[in-house]
A and B are shown apart, each in its own frame.
Chain A
Amino acid sequence: MSKKQNVTTTSTGAPINQKPLGTRIWNNRGYYLMFLPVLVFVIIIYYWPMLGVRYAFYQYKLKNITWVGLKNFETMFGKKEFWSAFTNTLQISITKLLITTFTSVLVSVFLNEMHNLFAKKSLQTIIYLPHFMSWAVVAAIFQLFLSTSSTGFVNETLKSMGLIAKSIDFLHSKQLWRPIFYIINIWKETGWGTVIFLATLSGINPELYEAADIDGASRLQKIWYVTVPALMNTVIIVLILNLAKVLNLFESVFVLYNNRVFDVSDVISTYVYRQTFLTAIPDYGYTTAVGLFKSIVGCVLVLVCNWASKKIRGRGII
């Protein structure tokens, strides 16, 4: 009976003699030495702070730190503000993702159909620009734009057209806040979202369009039967990749929301922010528990997306 060998095979199936790990590390000690600072950096920057998650099981107010077990989670699940923030996060993020992806695809197809190169490039540049503006500036612009005072362009225009008699308080209205939020997101992110779709469109085989021409397809038919199917794989990948990040919604909401629309706008990150930074004596244990819950849900989403990615494109995202 032959003794089983400790061997690894190459991609062609040829065996490689495997030396013990210690020997291999010693033989490549120069490389490992070079890697050491990176390892230390990663541990200090990424893993050391993670120890803070233990405070999710403590009451942590000022210098009083008391073990409370799962009480913070009980408190969290018993608060309607938390559930409001949680459901708002999912609703706002997923709706925003679908809308901005759809508009990005639409604009990409439109740009792809433009034959005047100068106009195409100019338009591309113009719609890219808002992406580079900070959310604080964007919020200031739209607050001015939508203001109820006499300086508010939208209200004054609607009034001068006779469409409304009294100014509409767009950003303080529960009914209008989300639509306005989506519109602002479309304005800011659609241009940037077209980059990946335009790259895909440029890779479509021209012979497919030539064949469609020979078959007598109209312009719209070519878009529907050639362009859109060619984009679908990319659209799904973009959706999956972004779905993993849906809980990371903060800055855009933070700069645009206010007390009156908390019910429809408060998301987990803004909820945690208020509990942590706008509370005179915050309980860091409770806010850590909320943050930990968010991380766990985010982790599950990433795993689901990874599974979906493997199913659809044959490889995962992590």
Chain B
Amino acid sequence: MKKKVLSLLLSTAMVASLAACGSETAPADTTATETAPADTATEAAPADTAAAEDYTLETLNIVVDGTVTATVESGQKEFEEQWEAAVAEKLGHPVDLVINQLDHSDYAGTVSRLLTTGEPGDGSYPDALIMSATMLRQYQTTGLLWDMADAYANAEFQSRVTLPTVNENMKDSEGHLYGFAPTYGNGCVTYVKQSWLDAVGMKADDIKTFDDYYAMLKAFTENDPDGNGSAGTYGVIAAGFGKLDEAPYINYMPEFWQGAYPSFYQKDGVWVDGFQEQATVDALARLAQGVADGVIDPDTEDAGTKQAREKFFSNDQTTSEGVFTYWAGTWLRTLTTNMEKQEVDNDLGDNRLVQLAPIQEIKDTWGGYLNREAPVWVITDDQDGNSAREQAIFDALLETMLDGDRVQTLWTYGAEDVHWSIHAEEFSTNADDPEKKKDYSYEEGQFHLKQSPNDPNSVWKKNHLDAVLVIAPLTNGYVDNDELVQAGNKFFTENCVDAPAAASCDTLAENNEALVEEKTTLMKQAVAGEITPEEAIAQYQADFGDIAQQILDELNAQ
């Protein structure tokens, strides 16, 4: 008995001691809910500049997604070294840049865990990070992000900004700016394989309406465009019928969605739930018809972007597709280069893909392809009551990012003599293959992109910033003259409109994932023909009708 009592006491003591240790965090954390860091930052703004001068930023931890293409395998070390050298020269003191590049596909989840578990100042907590517009809307009310409105207004690059509306539109209703977009958003255009058009006797210029578009898809599916004598091809592939977790949701299959927008958006100044609109019912019906007719590749349902594009330019065209809607500009070059690598339509050179103008139904509703809200850089707020640290981060990272010269070049093209150079040189891609070999020759002082560090058979394209999309252009004259990229950007600019602004309110933030999951499930069931589009919307209304109405009430009350 004595032994049992003793063991019980020992166990109790152990649990109590552990609980005592563990409970330290909870009360401390709880107080965080009472903090209003955004207001604090605003109030402290007048003293910020002076405070920033007192604060010396020694290490800059940034978290980035796949849009920083100078990865660890592709010269990131050299990029960091050159950035540190350039910034040290500008600021007058060294800053150690630490890049934490996360898996692009699980970026939002990993960022959430980093911001939950870390604290400013520890090694893994980001000082600044990239966020999509949707993420920004979710985080800007949490108090974790710094309001950079004043810093942005006073930035040195303001005198060179050519697209001021991009960041003005990022501000919330009270004028706070929690995310800074160095470029405008860009969007997707529909690419069609020229060889397939030729094979079925069609011309891209004749595709003007959805009926024309659908007839083209049917021809690609049924008329043996790959010329192998048997079926197996499809009209179109995409990364999902609709990507309902990422604005602007419809941009991978715009011809099918047309005027539908399966989320909350402002229509004539009033917030509406687009998923409940007739336009969504019609879009689901079109998608279901496309699947039933076999013109949409069934892999679309579960494909990610990588899988979809790799199937599109695959070496095996017998199960490929003729149409793929993807990002404009640089991606036109990337898709073309990949087709070249896979030896697809080698006789067509840079004319492998033709860009399809928006069909009439898109023009009549949106006005063109959707230009998404730009991804942004955010700075984390350490909630210490002043903005010295945050201003220092802004100065080191964002102010220099658009300096028009050395640092902006690093963010635009990568590291000098690794990704680009101004020194005379000659190189060849596919040097071992006489048929595919391409020679490049540059004179001393001539800006040019070099061979990719991780692929000697292709030429480097860009780093994080797109020179054409940036809000304050380079002033050093370093321009990549890739005609295909320029043509792609020009085409998109001429055929795009801004996507609706993302919605943001408490109830939406609380229920967003459940809504996305429900809508995605119902969309897939409707497209597969398991339920009708009307039943899908009815089910959504039954499950989330009240919550959707509450969200609309909150949004319209803002």
Seen from chain A, the residues whose Cβ lies within 8 Å of a Cβ on chain B are 6, 21, 43, 47-48, 51, 54, 58, 61-67, 80-81, 148-151, 167, 169, 172, 174, 258-260, 262, 274-275, 277-282, 284
Contact = CB atoms under 8 A, between A and B. Distances in A.
Contacts of B298: 148-149, 167, 169
Given A66-B33, A169-B528, A149 B14 contact: no
B528 A259 contact: no
Given A150-B232, A169-B298, A280 B30 contact: no
Contacts of B530: 174, 260
A65 B18 contact: no
A137 B378 CA distance: 39
Contact of B30 (A67, A81, A274): A67
B438 to A, nearest CB: 33
Interface of B: 2-3, 6, 14-15, 18-19, 22-23, 25-26, 29-30, 32-33, 106, 108-109, 112, 115-116, 134-135, 138-139, 142, 144, 231-232, 297-299, 301-302, 319, 509, 512-514, 517, 520-521, 524-525, 528, 530, 543
B517 A62 contact: no
Contacts of A284: 116
Contact of B138 (A169, A258, A277, A280): A280
Given A258-B302, A280-B138, A172 B3 contact: no
A180 to B, nearest CB: 15
Contact of A62 (B115, B135, B232): B115
Given A63-B144, A174-B530, A260-B521, A278 B109 contact: yes
Nearest to B29: A65
Contacts of B29: 63-65
B47 to A, nearest CB: 25
Contacts of B138: 280-281
Contacts of B301: 172, 258
A282 B112 contact: yes
B14 A21 contact: no
A281 B26 contact: no
B109 to A, nearest CB: 5
Given A148-B298, A149-B299, A151-B319, A64 B232 contact: no
Contacts, number: 99
Given A64-B32, A64-B33, A258-B302, A274 B14 contact: no
Given A62-B144, A63-B32, A65-B33, A259 B520 contact: yes
B544 to A, nearest CB: 12
Contact of A259 (B14, B116, B517): B517
- A-B complex: 5 closest residue pairs judged by Cβ atoms: A51-B22, A65-B29, A279-B513, A259-B521, A64-B33
A80 to B, nearest CB: 8
Most buried by A among B26, B108, B232, B524: B26
Contact of A260 (B116, B513, B524): B524
Contacts of B299: 149
Contact of B319 (A149, A262, A280): A149
B380 to A, nearest CB: 11
B14 A43 contact: yes
A51 B18 contact: yes
Contacts of A262: 517, 521
A150 B319 contact: yes
A277 to B, nearest CB: 5
B513 A278 contact: yes
A162 to B, nearest CB: 17
9 contacts: A47-B14, A63-B29, A65-B30, A150-B319, A259-B520, A260-B530, A275-B513, A280-B109, A280-B134
B290 to A, nearest CB: 14
A59 to B, nearest CB: 9
Contacts of A62: 112, 115-116, 142, 144
A259 B524 contact: yes
Contacts of A6: 2
Contact of A48 (B18, B30, B108, B109): B18
Contact of A47 (B3, B18, B30, B33): B18
B221 to A, nearest CB: 12
Given A172-B301, A280-B512, 18 more contacts: A6-B2, A21-B3, A48-B18, A62-B115, A63-B29, A65-B29, A65-B32, A81-B514, A150-B231, A150-B232, A151-B319, A169-B528, A174-B530, A260-B530, A262-B517, A281-B112, A281-B139, A284-B116
Nearest to B118: A63
Nearest to B311: A149
Contacts of A43: 14, 18
B417 to A, nearest CB: 40
Nearest to B139: A281
Contacts of B26: 54, 58, 65
Contacts of B520: 259
Given A48-B18, A62-B112, A66-B33, A281 B142 contact: yes
A280 B33 contact: no
B21 to A, nearest CB: 8
Nearest to B512: A280
Contacts of B134: 280
A170 to B, nearest CB: 12
A148 B297 CA distance: 10
A63 B116 contact: yes
Contacts of B297: 149
Nearest to A79: B514
A5 to B, nearest CB: 13
A295 B19 CA distance: 19
Nearest to B519: A259
A128 to B, nearest CB: 31
Nearest to A55: B26
Contacts of B528: 169, 172, 260
Given A47-B18, A63-B32, A67-B30, A21 B116 contact: no
B19 A51 contact: yes
Nearest to A21: B6
A174 B139 CA distance: 37
Contacts of A172: 301, 524, 528
Contacts of B543: 80
Given A169-B298, A280-B108, A281-B139, A54 B22 contact: yes
Given A66-B33, A259-B524, A262-B521, A277 B109 contact: yes
Nearest to A262: B521
A281 B32 contact: no
Contacts of A169: 298, 528
Nearest to B138: A280
A314 B135 CA distance: 58
A281 B144 CA distance: 12
A281 B297 CA distance: 33
A64 to B, nearest CB: 4
Contacts of B116: 62-63, 284
Contacts of A280: 108-109, 112, 134-135, 138, 512-513
B244 to A, nearest CB: 10
B509 A281 contact: yes
B217 to A, nearest CB: 16
Contacts of B19: 51
A247 to B, nearest CB: 22
B525 A260 contact: yes
Contacts of A275: 513
Contacts of A48: 18, 22
A56 B450 CA distance: 54
Nearest to A278: B109
B3 to A, nearest CB: 7
A67 B27 CA distance: 9
B61 to A, nearest CB: 17
A64 B32 CA distance: 6
